[in-house]
A = this chain, B = another copy of it.
Amino acid sequence: MMEANAETGNRTEARAPLIAPAIVLVRPQLGENIGFAARAMGNFGLRDLRLVSPRDGWPNDKARAAAAVADVIVDEAKVYDTVEAALQDLNFVLATTARPRGMVKEVLSPETAAPALRARALSQERTGVMFGGERNGLDNDSIALADAILTAPVDPEFASLSLPQAVLLFAYEWRKAEKPEGLGRVTAFDGPAQEGVAAPDTRPATRAELFGLFAHLEGALDEAGFLKPPEKRPAMVRSIRNMFHRMGATDQDVRTWRGIVSALTRRSTPPRA
């Protein structure tokens, strides 16, 4: 489903749901690649898949299998005979190609295209991105139907972005553009990809807990004769303490280290007859 646009509720035109771009695959060859493209779409919030004359017909079992959990996107894909038919309802269309081939068109990267399409979608424009078939990419006639060109910054020496890879990069940037203020910091979903430190059932150790550990460890090290000579002791102690600070020790970590120190030193008091 499309995202609701709750945060811009005071702008009337923004209250309608944002319509994410359509992904238009023009004469794709392998069913697997259609499925992989659908999977890439699903991962990053795109749902509207359109196919122009898929070589191996439609429906295609291989496409469905390759889509994995995104098979619903394959099931709901629309099939057209011509590029023109597939683009009918769209207001703004990008053509993906590595080679602009002499056309005077604006060239966008995925990174710049995604927010540009999002801005148009927020204004209730319907947008789409065309991708060509595996062998030759988009033909010039299809490119000519687009408003601008989308191209990824690939290494010219290895330029070989596959169809699903190209879809993935656009979809990924589309998702990132959802929260422009949060680029790179906050993800759009509340799920597993939040940045920060993954710390289940733990909390940062208090200074009291850390100091208790320091006293325990340093006491053991003094007894073991490790913190010598005396004039070097302060620097050695600081260095060890700094390591614990740098690791961002949790309460559980402190308990673990106290257990380690106890275990290693417990061996030093062998039973005496």
Q: Which residues of A contact B (CB under 8 A)?
A: 36, 39-40, 42-45, 68-70, 98-100, 102-109, 111-112, 149, 151-162, 164-165, 168-169, 172, 175-176, 182-185, 187-202, 217, 220-221, 223-226, 236, 239-240, 242-244, 246-250, 252-253, 256-257, 259-261, 263-268, 270
Contacts and interface: CB of A to CB of B under 8 A. Distances in A.
8 contacts: A104-B250, A108-B195, A153-B175, A221-B264, A224-B263, A224-B267, A239-B253, A240-B256
A184 B191 CA distance: 21
A159 to B, nearest CB: 7
A158 B266 contact: no
A115 to B, nearest CB: 9
Contacts of A201: 102
A74 B112 CA distance: 32
The copy count of this chain in the complex is 2
Nearest to A110: B172
A192 B43 contact: no
A158 B43 contact: yes
A116 to B, nearest CB: 11
| 7 closest Cβ pairs, A-B complex | A42-B158, A153-B187, A100-B198, A267-B268, A156-B191, A226-B263, A247-B247
A152 B198 CA distance: 14
Given A69-B159, A155-B175, A221-B264, 19 more contacts: A36-B162, A39-B160, A42-B157, A43-B155, A98-B192, A104-B253, A107-B195, A108-B195, A153-B175, A154-B189, A165-B165, A168-B169, A184-B185, A226-B259, A239-B252, A243-B256, A246-B246, A268-B268, A270-B270
Contacts of A156: 189-192
Contacts of A112: 184-185, 195
A178 to B, nearest CB: 9
A193 B45 contact: no
A165 B242 contact: no
A196 B158 contact: no
A197 B259 contact: no
Identify which of A112, A217, A246, A253 gathers the most chain B CB atoms within 10 Å of its CB: A246
A45 B102 contact: no
Contacts of A151: 192-193
A223 to B, nearest CB: 7
